[in-house]
A and B are shown apart, each in its own frame.
Chain A
Amino acid sequence: MKYGYYPGCTLKKNAASFEKSALHVMKAAGIEFREMKVWNCCGTSFGLTKDMLIHQIAPVRNILRARQEGFDAIVTLCSICYNTLKRADSFISSDSMVKRRITGFLDEYGPYEGGFPVFHLLEVLEDRIGLGAVSKLAIRPLSGLRAAAYYGCMLVRPAELGFDSMERPGRLRRFLKALGAEPVDFPLSTECCGAYHAVGEPATAAEFSRKIIDDARLRGAEIIVTGCPLCHHNLDRGQAEIIRAWPGFNPMPVMYFTQAAALAFGEPAAGLGFESNFAPPQVLLDRLAGAAAGREAPR
């Protein structure tokens, strides 16, 4: 299957470390992909109004471009791009009048019935590559790392379009296990990070994130792993705001599942963009360095 990699805006800016690590992981896993030549904003976030079809143009245009470029499916990294593209397609597919109007507006791409596959990278890694193969690639397993798998909203809601169970998803937990880590379950793994409140209501966003981090810590996590650049922003950079409100708050490292995988696959930490973290994942890096020193020590 030829995947069209759809990055979305944030991967080219604040979440460059997500993209870089993901490209490494996709290559290592042998996924046949290429970045789409032309793409626009996914249309974020999915328009919840029923009467404003204009919101569906941006996501559907991306899908039609992927088809035009000859791809069999789209693969995304950002959970919000994933949600917006997949939902827009489902929305136009389920209503013939809507479909006619949208595809009519986008006539340059020809007729379209809907149903072009959109995947999140975690789905491709688990369902196409397989977690057994992922484990084999993990030559430097994240042994003993107590990692909280954090999904946020847009990978699991709404139920019929989410990539896993909406109340108790397991994809990220299983992936972390394949990397050798000890995934930590925590009840707030699908609670909202504060989302776009980062812009107008930073104190509210910080309160959302604080509850999530404290909950993960309470269950024994020493790091939080996510697949969403907005969650990463709120949970990591948002800690500056949390500390303003809660001076005793202890920082908690947050990283992308692709950074975790790249490390496990043997990539040096130096190229993975941790320097832009508010709370660097020192606990993990020290442990990996310790394990490496142990391996090299003379017997």
Chain B
Amino acid sequence: MQFTLKARDLDSAIRRKVEEISGENVYACYQCGKCSAGCPSAYAMDVIPSQIMRFLQVGLEEDLLGSNTPWICASCEICSVRCPRGIEVARIMEALRHASLRKRLDRIAIQGIPAPAIKETPPIALVSAFRKMTS
């Protein structure tokens, strides 16, 4: 059986969007897995960072947008500084968050945070969380 796979069949709107927002090239990834190995959030992600890179390369749009990964990512940037291909994976995560946030699909509702928690939580945490999880 013959099977022909063309690059353009694998391309996707989400790949173009993520590259535009992040400024990174997803095809530079050679799947070494180093980003996932060092990621402190990987244990709680449904798709680990190196898989996110692969999914972008092959255009698995629904799996990317349905994944909890960008929201579990803590923007610690371990992945970015360790990638042997120089890909800033943390920017890829930010771009995936923005792909949803720019459609006003917020991850947290500010009104839902109880007043005592707001008082107890440092502004740095609140502002960062709103930056990352709300539009």
Residues of A within 8 A of B (CB): 8-10, 13-15, 41, 44-45, 47-52, 78, 80, 153, 157-159, 166, 191-192, 194-201, 204, 207-208, 211, 229-230, 233, 237
Contact = CB atoms under 8 A, between A and B. Distances in A.
A204 B41 contact: yes
B60 interface: no
Most chain A CB within 10 A, of B22, B80, B113, B124, is at B124
12 contacts: A9-B123, A15-B122, A49-B94, A50-B23, A80-B124, A158-B80, A196-B126, A196-B133, A200-B129, A201-B72, A207-B43, A208-B40
B120 interface: yes
In the A-B complex, the 3 residue pairs with the closest CB atoms: A192-B76, A50-B23, A199-B129
Contacts of B43: 207
By DSSP majority rule, is chain B's interface helix, strand, loop, or mixed? helix
Contacts, number: 126
A223 to B, nearest CB: 21
B77 A158 contact: yes
B41 A200 contact: no
A10 B122 contact: yes
B20 interface: yes
A200 B71 CA distance: 10
By DSSP majority rule, is chain A's interface helix, strand, loop, or mixed? loop
B125 A41 contact: no
Contacts of A80: 124, 128
Most chain A CB within 10 A, of B72, B90, B129, is at B129
A9 B77 contact: no
